[in-house]
């Protein structure tokens, strides 16, 4: 991918967790809309597979560990050198801890979820903001993947739920602190999108009343379309928070 923007729509997007699931679907949708997309994840082979599936040289796989400051710094330096600018960051990388009672969760499991879900989003936002402030024209958009868990927890999910609630605070802080630089920040909260990682939910998941229930799912392409919609808005307009979910999932009145 070159920085002369002779292909596509001229806009550069960066998607974390791009090798699988929601990140993969969003990356492919952005590429279809003509974005240059930097595909970020820890496993380069998975990113290269997405780029091959897209069949365009507008996809650029870059391996990075978003939980490590040095890795994130090197990532954004490479983005600036290779692409010249950044118009969109989709902060999507995330992990969960093994299910367990709060008092039994190991510190290592807690720290891993915080490092990737929260610290990773913070570090990538920092890198994006620095680049977006310095480029001409100034500005850009950050979309954080919050999750339905930013509103209501599932049983035995304290690390994941805590980090997703924190993402909401990060989203609000970025929106407030970056107004002067023409940087818009919004959050998409996703419920029951069917991916290879969530397929287990089709066999039943624990409910608040202790039962195991199969929950309705939605096609992940609908999530990708929603992110593309948010990304396509002019910087004078922002979707601050969007909740997109399987219509019949137990969220409103969960449990």
User: What would the mean pLDDT of 78-107 be, rounded to a whole number?
Assistant: 95
Q: Which of 151-155, 193-197, 235-239 has the lowest mean pLDDT?
A: 193-197
At 242 the pLDDT is: 98
Question: Domains of the chain by range and CATH?
Answer: 12-245 (3.40.50.720)
At 213 the pLDDT is: 85
User: What would the mean pLDDT of 77-102 be, rounded to a whole number?
Assistant: 95
Residue 8 has pLDDT above 90, yes or no: no
HEC sequence for the chain: CCCCCCCCCCCEEEEECCCCHHHHHHHHHHHHCCCEEEEEECCHHHHHHHHHHHCCCCEEEEECCCCCHHHHHHHHHHHHHHHCCCCEEEECCCCCCCCCCHHHCCHHHHHHHHHHHHHHHHHHHHHHHHHHHHCCCCCEEEEEECCHHHCCCCCCCHHHHHHHHHHHHHHHHHHHHCHHHCEEEEEEEEECEECCCCHHHHHCEECCCCCEECCCCEEHHHHHHHHHHHHHCCCCCCCCEEEEECCCCCCCCCC
pLDDT tier at 208, thresholds 50, 70, 90: confident
Give the separation between CA 37 and CA 117, rounded to whole angstroms. 21
User: What would the mean pLDDT of 99-105 be, rounded to a whole number?
Assistant: 92
The pLDDT tens digits of the residues spanning 114-145 come to 999 999 999 999 999 999 999 999 999 999 99
* Higher pLDDT pick, 100 / 160: 160
Q: What length is written for the chain?
A: 255
At 3 the pLDDT is: 40
pLDDT tier at 202, thresholds 50, 70, 90: confident
Task: For residue 125, report the phi and psi dihedrals to the nearest 5 degrees.
Answer: -65, -40
Give the separation between CA 235 and CA 84, rounded to whole angstroms. 19
* Higher pLDDT pick, 206 / 71: 71
Q: In 3D, which of 118, 113, 124 has the Cα closest to residue 166?
A: 118
> Which residues are tagged catalytic?
160
pLDDT tier at 211, thresholds 50, 70, 90: confident
Task: For residue 229, report the phi and psi dihedrals to the nearest 5 degrees.
Answer: -60, -45
Residue 207 has pLDDT above 90, yes or no: no
At 255 the pLDDT is: 54
The pLDDT tens digits of the residues spanning 25-53 come to 999 999 999 999 999 999 999 999 999 99
Q: What's this model's pTM, rounded to 2 decimal places?
A: 0.93
User: Are the beta carbons of 41 and 47 closer than 8 angstroms?
Assistant: yes
User: What would the mean pLDDT of 188-215 be, rounded to a whole number?
Assistant: 84
């Amino acid at each position: 991918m070159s920085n002369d923007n002779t292909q596509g729509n001229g806009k550069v997007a960066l998607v974390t967790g791009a090798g699988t699931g929601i990140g993969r679907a969003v990356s492919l949708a952005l590429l279809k809309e003509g974005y240059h997309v930097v595909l970020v994840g820890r496993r380069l082979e998975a990113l290269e597979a997405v780029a091959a599936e897209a069949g365009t040289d507008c996809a650029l796989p870059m391996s990075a560990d978003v939980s490590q400051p040095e890795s994130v710094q090197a990532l954004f330096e490479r983005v600036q050198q290779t692409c010249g600018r950044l118009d969109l960051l989709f902060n999507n990388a995330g992990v969960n801890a093994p299910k367990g009672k709060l008092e039994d969760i190991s510190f290592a499991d807690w720290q891993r979820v915080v490092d990737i879900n929260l610290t990773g989003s913070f570090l990538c936002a920092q890198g994006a903001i620095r680049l977006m402030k310095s480029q001409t024209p100034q500005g850009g958009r950050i979309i954080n993947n919050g999750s339905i868990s930013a509103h209501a927890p599932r049983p035995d999910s304290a690390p994941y739920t805590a980090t997703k609630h924190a993402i909401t605070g990060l989203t609000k802080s970025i929106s407030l602190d970056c107004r002067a630089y023409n940087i818009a920040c919004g959050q998409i909260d996703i419920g029951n999108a069917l991916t290879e990682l969530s397929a287990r939910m089709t066999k039943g998941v624990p409910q608040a009343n202790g039962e195991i229930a199969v929950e309705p799912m939605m096609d992940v392409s609908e999530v990708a379309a929603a992110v593309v919609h948010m990304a396509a808005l002019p910087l004078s307009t922002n979707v601050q928070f969007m909740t997109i979910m399987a219509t019949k999932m137990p969220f409103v009145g969960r449990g």
